[in-house]
Structure 1
């Protein structure tokens, strides 16, 4: 009898729990440290440090877990170790040589194993967008771990956020569209507008132009970026409406994905408006993308991926999907107070508490389903 071929483990089995726990701890820690209620590590002395870990710590771990797929366990643990060492180094010894090396090894390792699978794998240029986006995120992650001039850091963070927005926009067409179409077909309806290639292509081109204009130092370039982001936000909204989300009322897993995509549209609109007018604070508007879109979509993808892989049913644990509403509350608690001129402290605490509770509960789900395979509860 021939030996049975060993099945490679999926990277998300390790990276998703690490990302969920890190998200649950990082945000309340940074908020409480900001008000002197907890000791402040060197990496969180400024809001830019918090943004760094949100994008290159939490978000990049989710990207790695989702896109790496099945890999040899030594490789997964090596990359996870580099990620953890880079997080520890950034928090307590930012700029140290070993922090930079760990961040570069993690980012480079992810890019080395992800980019070749997508580069040239499809004939249409839209379907190859993952490769340059992941490569660019990896490069920015390595650069951001260096001791940079303070005036360069916000621009670099905006570039990373726009790259993640591009990835979310693209992956929405690959995750949400077929899932909604499959559900509608089971209900006797046909969804004609799925990927919507022309709309997707236009949005990706506009986001690419926004990435370029964001690098330019002129005031006019900021206005151009604002107009481009407004246009993409509107296109994302049109795409969402053409998916007919009202037909998914009985599928909470799909509703959470659609809620995250709604936040992507809103977040891009807010970002664009903040660049075009001083009436909308930029720091507040960015949370539509970071907490609303990035938080909700990563939450939904991590929960849905684990439930489908382990239990073959995205709604096998129905309690987890309403938890995503906490992330919308967290986003609103960061966006509305500056607009309404409210005292920020209680709203910051509320936002951090909602975010942290959501990802703690996600970590509980990931733990509960860690050893279950292919059977329903």
Structure 2
């Protein structure tokens, strides 16, 4: 692969970074340390694990998605070359700083960690303003919100407030749930309608149920805000409503019809983890002694957030010479491994030997992202095929 080709499309460096870091995060902690590898220099190491999955892995994937989608919004060529190199450099600098967190003072840590998100937000703001694409500024607001939560996390971690950092993860999770509901509920039915046209589908049409989708979004936002102010009853109610509305919306997408298309079916299954995990979170709020809240949060992280990242980003490696998208065996393996990882993580707390199940879930996670990187590799060579993540807007039946 010519080095210059790597910088010809945003998804190439950023999806690669997300996949590599997804493997590294669990390969180092907890898997590596269980075999005697020194822990990350952040006390306790679980905080490094949380931070790097949210602000390392997930934000790399989000950046790759936004910069890949943005040319369609503004009618311009994608970012290339030095701009992408600078963006990736800021992301890498933050990863290095977090690996030695305990030895780096906060005035250095904050700018190093915030540079990536703020650079993304500034770049998108300039491009969207120039194109007068004001409707897309919600994504910029989301990036700035992530930067604010990252600042809060680092401040709490430096002060030794582990409980505060853990509590912040639920706000982060619900924030990602809002993003997934907004993006997924537009993307998945659009791709499904396109597939139905290809196969001359004669069954029931995809139902969009836009009002229910808006209720799901509103409930997720309310749940996020209620969590910030520790309004537990309101949080629980919002989670229940968001779960029901998200599930009811997805049931109109004719998911069963996609079984012949693993690439599309994977999106449907990944999205269905979202209402299931939101319901699990609500149950842990209502009956805290029944099931550990941490396990429900992990299920939402692995099944819904990571599942949708993998299936959406994996589309970059699914282009065929005919111009059609087809999931290779490696991506099918990656999706199945990630879903089994989610299942093991959910089962682990109710087993007699939780550590074995947790290690099994971690190994499956690593296997999934290694397979993702294998899927992605062909898309890193030659002229980039774009747009990778596009689909015609879904139409009401």
TM-score, normalised by the number of residues in structure 2: 0.84
Further displaced range: 246-255 or 40-49: 40-49
Further displaced range: 94-103 or 253-262: 94-103
2:46 maps to 47
2: distance between equivalents of 1:184 and 1:150? 49
2: distance between equivalents of 1:163 and 1:115? 21
Instruction: Tell me how far 1:174 sits from its aligned partner.
Output: 2.6
Q: Equivalent residues in 2 for 1:112-261 (5 A)?
A: 112-115=122-125, 121=133, 129-146=138-155, 147-148=158-159, 149-189=161-201, 192-193=205-206, 195-217=208-230, 221-261=231-271
Instruction: Tell me how far 1:214 sits from its aligned partner.
Output: 0.4
Partner residue of 1:331 out of 338, 342, 367: 342
Q: For 1:325, what is the secondary structure of its paired residue?
A: helix
5+ unaligned residues in a row in structure 1: which ranges? 1-7
Computed over aligned residues only, the root mean square deviation of the Cα atoms, in angstroms, reads 2.6
| Shift in alpha-carbon separation, 1:17–1:167, aligned structure 2, 3 A | same
8 Å contact kept, 2:240–2:278: yes
2: distance between equivalents of 1:310 and 1:104? 40
Instruction: Tell me how far 1:17 sits from its aligned partner.
Output: 0.7
8 Å contact kept, 1:181–1:194: no
CA deviation string 1:323-373 (max 9, x = no partner):
2111111111111121x2421111111011100011011112222331144
8 Å contact kept, 2:29–2:45: no
Partner residue of 1:288 out of 299, 305, 329: 299
Further displaced range: 148-157 or 343-352: 148-157
Instruction: Tell me how far 1:35 sits from its aligned partner.
Output: 4.1
2:277 maps to 267
Higher relative contact order (CA 8 A, sep 6+): 2
8 Å contact kept, 2:263–2:311: yes
2: distance between equivalents of 1:331 and 1:143? 28
Instruction: Tell me how far 1:304 sits from its aligned partner.
Output: 0.6
2: distance between equivalents of 1:117 and 1:229? 35
Instruction: Tell me how far 1:251 sits from its aligned partner.
Output: 0.4
Aligned length: 362
2:393 maps to none
| Shift in alpha-carbon separation, 1:195–1:14, aligned structure 2, 3 A | farther
1:344 maps to 354
Further displaced range: 56-65 or 313-322: 313-322
Q: Does 1:19 align with 2:18?
A: yes
2:74 maps to none
2: distance between equivalents of 1:281 and 1:341? 13
1: distance between equivalents of 2:125 and 2:342? 32
5+ unaligned residues in a row in structure 2: which ranges? 1-6, 69-77, 386-397
CA deviation string 1:45-93 (max 9, x = no partner):
3423211111111001100011023214212111111111111111222
1:93 maps to 101
